[in-house]
Amino acid sequence: MTLAPEVLHSAEATTAELLKSLIDLGMAFKDQEQIYARRLAPTAIRDLVVTDLPDAATSLADLVAEFQHDLLPLCKNEASPQFLGFGDTGDDPAALAGSLLAMFTQQNLINQSFDSPSATFVEIAVLRWFRDLIGYASPPLPEVSTVWTAGGVVTTGGTMSNTIAMMLAREHRFPGTMQSGVTDPGRCAVVVPRGIGHYSIRSSLAWIGCGNAVIEVDTDGFRYDLAGLRHALAEHRDEIMAVVAYAGDSRTQTVENLRAVHDIVRSKAPAAWLHADACWGFMATFSPTTRRLVDGIDLYDSVTVDPHKVMAVPYAVSALVTRDVEALRAISSHSDLIMQEDFAFGQVTPFVGSKPWSSLKLWMTMRAHGRHGLAALVERRFATMRDFVMAVDSRPRFLRLHNPDLTACAFLWLPPSTDLTAPDLNRINDVNKRIHGRLLADGEWYLHQFSIPDPGVLSLGEQLHPLRFMSVNHRITTAQVQGVLDEVDCLGLQITRETGPTKESRR
Ligand SMILES: Cc1ncc(COP(=O)(O)O)c(C=O)c1O
């Protein structure tokens, strides 16, 4: 959509009129089928965009026109039904409304009394809804008299929520570290599943002074190998500060055996903090039919949720909720400058000073859907995933790596005449990497790619580079499911023609 010049350049156009016209522009962008209107090399974009600050002022109308002409066509539209690699569509109408209103009202949740009289309580309401979905008990409302009885904290993303969880783990293991600093990083180890964890855990340990003490345990089908977990806990008992389980890992979204992991950790390493990263798995709590997938999550000490991944809300919003409603007291900070009041979220949000009203878009979205609407949202995504699985399984040159638990499916394209009994993994990985590269360069479709240990489909434990489809976007229909598979097949065949036959077919 191009804004009409009369709107942009009319001398009488008020700020409000101009801003209203930008909503049309934003919606047209989200509604477009395309992911990108234009692709350029990074250096070409650098040279286009990175300029000196001019001395002269530019009118807002001219800036919007320049944005439309130069920047917007290069922007990624993740709400496009052809963007099939992630789920951060940010297109829920109520969430967009909440984002706009939060921007206009400019509340600052660092304090409550003068800074965010009502916003603070919207945040508390949302945290209590999250706790309820997870299965954590919350105190009766009259007992909610401080931020420490809210039972969680809204953050900027899963990385920050996980970092705060690791701070809680550290303080739980070594009370007083907030004052004394870390004295024995060797005893701050965190157990994670090998090869499938998210880097935020390792990074957060470095950020909070715990070093690089990650203990990786082997996996079986993208979940902890439970015997391996028992063994690691026994072997490293004195070093372990926390155990992390993924309710939907970042690659295949496989949900951990949460209850079994809990039972093992509580019996073998009872002092360890047990954290569930449910950035993805949170969506399973929306519907009674999918809730069983995260059975036992309410037994964990803390849970990360990441609504910008699973609730179609714009960036950036996540939350950490804790089983012990007052757990965040242990890592609070105080200042006599500001925040000397019971409902100041500034006291319980590490790393953050001024704090935006990110929870308004959640409040709007959750109210607009209601429990039933949220359930319908997740059930639709699961139905789309079932369609994808059927489609991929019906095609001879495609190989699925797993049975999807949630909304992600990793698969490989196999060159013709691949011998499944002695597959040429280098060749298969190479072709799949090239397919991904071409998809990215063309910009018409998007599938994600990563490396992952083979769960046993070709050669157990070897690194694979599959493509990944995700079924979060509500605009995906059979047309996109078939369309992207046709495209992958076509690119794969083209690449094998260009690069020659496989090792197996030469034999
Ligand atoms: C399992 C998991 N945890 C944490 C994160 C980090 O979330 P964010 O990008 O919101 O910081 C991701 C992101 O993909 C993830 O998949």
**Does residue 399 sit in the same domain as residue 454?**
yes
Establish whether residue 123 lines the binding site of ligand 1, counting it when its CB lies within 6 angstroms of any ligand atom. no
In the three-class reduction of DSSP (H, G, I as helix; E, B as strand; rest coil), residue 445 is classed as coil
Instruction: Note whether residue 362 is domain-resident.
Output: no
Rounded CA separation 505/171 (Å): 59
Q: Is the CB of 192 under 6 A from ligand 1?
A: no
3-state secondary structure of 128: helix
Tell me, in angstroms, the distance from the centre of ligand 1 to residue 277's CA: 9
131: tokens are 């706790």
Other C-beta atoms within 10 Å of 4: how many? 11
Number of domains present in the structure of the chain: 3
Same domain, 143 and 214: yes
Please tell me the distance between residue 89's alpha carbon and the centre of ligand 1 in angstroms: 15
Same domain assignment for residues 72 and 118: no
Q: pLDDT in tens for each of the 507 residues of the chain?
A: 566 655 556 656 688 898 999 999 999 999 999 999 999 999 999 999 999 999 999 999 899 999 999 999 999 999 999 999 999 999 999 999 999 999 999 999 999 999 999 999 999 999 999 999 999 999 999 999 999 999 999 999 999 999 999 999 999 999 999 999 999 999 999 999 998 999 999 999 999 999 988 999 999 999 999 999 999 999 999 999 999 999 999 999 999 999 999 999 999 999 999 999 999 999 999 999 999 999 999 999 999 999 999 999 999 999 999 999 999 999 988 777 666 789 999 988 889 999 999 999 999 999 999 999 999 999 999 999 999 999 999 999 999 999 999 999 999 999 998 999 999 999 999 999 999 999 999 999 999 999 999 999 999 999 999 999 999 999 999 999 999 999 999 999 999 999 876 555 444
Q: Which domain holds residue 42?
A: 5-77
State in Å: Cα 204 to ligand 1 middle: 12
Alpha-carbon Rg for the chain, nearest whole angstrom, is 25
Q: Are residues 61 and 138 both part of a single domain?
A: no
Counting ligand 1 atoms within 8 A of each CB, the residue from 78, 88, 164, 200 with the most, and so the one to mutate, is 200
Question: 426 and 321, same structural domain?
Answer: no
Q: Is 224 part of a structural domain of the chain?
A: yes
Asked whether residue 22 is assigned to any structural domain, the reply reads yes
Full 3-state SS string of 211-257: CCCEEEECEECCEECHHHHHHHHHHCCCCEEEEEEEECCCCCCCECC
Do 459 and 498 reside in the same domain of the chain?
Answer: yes
Of the candidates 466, 291, 481, 485, which has an alpha carbon nearest to the alpha carbon of residue 378? 291
Domain assignment present for 83: no
Q: What CATH number is associated with residue 343?
A: 3.40.640.10
Give the Cα separation of 4 and 267 in Å (integer). Answer: 67
**Distance of CA 56 from the midpoint of ligand 1 (Å):** 42
Nearest CA to ligand 1 atom 4: 158
Question: 57, 77, 97 — which closes off a domain?
Answer: 77
Q: Is 158 in the pocket of ligand 1 (CB under 6 A)?
A: yes
Where does a domain end: 323, 357, 391?
Answer: 357
Confirm or reject: Cβ of 200 under 6 Å from ligand 1: yes
Distance of CA 423 to the CA centre of its chain: 33
Residue 91 lies in a domain: no
Amino acid found at 396: P
Distance CA(7)–CA(18), nearest Å, equals 7
In a domain, 95, yes or no: no
Residues 308 and 444 in one domain: no
Q: What is the CATH number of the domain that holds 394?
A: 3.90.1150.170
Q: Residue 325 has what DSSP assignment? A: T
Instruction: Tell me which residue of 401, 141, 116, 133 sits closest to 284, measured CA to CA.
Output: 133
Please indicate whether residue 281, judged by its CB atom, sits closer than 6 Å to ligand 1: no
Position 103 in a domain: no
Ligand 1 neighbourhood includes 88 CB (under 6 angstroms): no
Q: Is residue 468, in this structure, part of any structural domain at all?
A: yes
Residues 299 and 292 sit within 8 Å (Cβ to Cβ):
no
Q: Are residues 210 and 233 in the same domain?
A: yes
Task: Please list the helix, strand and coil fractions of the chain in percent, rounded to the nearest 5, in that order.
Answer: 45, 10, 40
State the distance from the centre of ligand 1 to the C-alpha of 492, rounded, in angstroms.
30
For residues 182 and 306, state if they share a domain: yes
Are residues 383 and 290 both part of a single domain?
A: no
**Among protein residues, the one whose CA lies closest to atom 2 of ligand 1:** 250
> Does one domain contain both 244 and 322?
yes
Q: Is 250 in the pocket of ligand 1 (CB under 6 A)?
A: yes
> Ligand 1 pocket, 256 CB below 6 A?
no
Same domain? For 410 and 493 the reply is yes
What's the distance, CA 235 to chain centroid?
32
